[in-house]
Amino acid sequence: MQKTYDFKLYRNGTWIESLTGETDTIYSPTDGSVVGTVPIAGAVDVQAMLETATAAQKAWGKLPAIQRAKVLHAFCAEIRANAEELAQLITREQGKLLKVARFEVEVTCSFIEYAASHARHLEGDIIPSDNPDEQLLIHRVPRGVVVAITAWNFPLALAGRKIGPALVTGNAVVVKPTPASPLSTLALCDLAKKAGVPDGILNMVTGDVEVGKTLVESPLTKMVTMTGSTPTGQAIARSAANNLTHVQLELGGKAPCIVFADADLDQAVAGALHSRFDNFGQVCTCNERMYVEASVYDAFMAKFLAEVDKLKLGDPIEEDTDLGPLTEARSVTNLENLVAKTVEQGGRITRGGARPKGDAFAKGHFFEATIIEDVTQEMDIVHKELFGPVLPVIKFEGFDQAIAYANDCEFGLAAMVFTKDLSKIMRLHQVLEFGEIYINRGHGELHQGFHNGLKLSGTGGEDGRYGLDQYMEKKTTYLKY
């Protein structure tokens, strides 16, 4: 019998009961079994959490950054020592393939370690003054208390992505894990304690929208970093406005995947396939709409559909499974409605299109790998975020039409392009309205890059030195000597 996790709130290095006495149950998206329970916090719980973090941050922020980095490296050692249990938990609560969940645990550590590697590079500037016998000193200093709000598609990695840079720069953190899959994130708390993260520096609170709103609206919160939907991000920005709290938002996406006639078609098939069905399409940078140049459309689609046919839908624990369940039941309903609407508008389903039949899928949130052709640019499915294993495919004629179609979108997170033409490649960064552009490969950002959305896909950005800078304030001193 599998373990059931019963977590509490984590404040000041201790597990404590929520004052509300209310709890939320987490069910497996694979078979509906109970994975664990978490408390639903109230306003008093949140206030105590923020006060604790505010008090603890002062000493932590004064430590040399290299000492903070040593604690983070110890934290990663504890995570790796418990990697298999964490991976199994991710799979149970979120539905991710176990082999990919194991990779997510390692990515969590690499996010933290990358941030820790900057400990000796949190540099300011010395600038000449206009006045004699004077210099300008610009220091980078911690913001204070950072509230980190995560999403359910990568529950552990997104926590690491925020915890690492927040802590190495001297902030304290209050994490609000996603309500859909919070357990693996909460499991980090005991590991942090064992690694020597000081009490009060890493805290975790669970609950509903009101908990998030209370966290964001508090004057004790000096920064909010959030990954999630665009409507939620907009609500956070409004709630943070009264205190002018700094916000960093990574929001929705509707990434185009453009295949030009001069592309290496095998390379394009592999990239497009990975970028649609990775994590069952539940990735903000996924291939959400595919544009194929008309002259190679038939040849490309023959190869692409042959690869789609090889995908196995099943239990994410099994090694040969390619597609598992969607995390939330409402995602399946959303896909059903969008597929039906697309067919009504003239789209043609050439693969999948429905929930799979059979007892193995009856209790889970499963949906078939679905390809829809004869799609036109004005259809709803081209503009609404899918976040699942459904792909609309559109023909285009020439460079200008491809770019116009791609940019016809309220989101601007990521785009993928396959072409051998250097002229096209050099023009792409100028004309594509997306923060990340992948050329001749599928999606998948690197730590040293900058994960930055344009339009309604976010503000602030994460990763690399530009992302790390979000977690620090700048102070200028005019030094007369």
140 beta partners: 474
| Per-residue CA distances from 329 to 31, 49, 196 (Å) | 12, 32, 39
Of residues 76, 257, 284, 286, which has the active-site annotation?
284
| Amino acid making up residue 137 | L
Is the alpha carbon torsion for 383, 266, 315, 279 positive or negative?
Answer: negative
246 beta partners: 223
C-alpha 138, offset from chain centre: 32
**188, burial (CB in 10 Å: exposed 0-12, middle 13-18, buried 19+):** buried
144 and 171 Cβ atoms separated by less than 8 Å: yes
250 has catalytic annotation: yes
Which residue carries 């956070």 as its tokens? Answer: 236
473 has catalytic annotation: no
Tokens linked to 428: 């792409």
In order, the DSSP letters of 274-343 are HHHHGGGG--TTSEEEEEEEGGGHHHHHHHHHHHHTTPPBS-TTSTT-SB---SSHHHHHHHHHHHHHHH
Q: In what order do the strands lie in the sheet with 5-6?
A: 5-6, 34-40, 22-27
Of residues 104, 250, 328, 436, which has the active-site annotation?
250
- Show which residues are catalytic: 250, 284
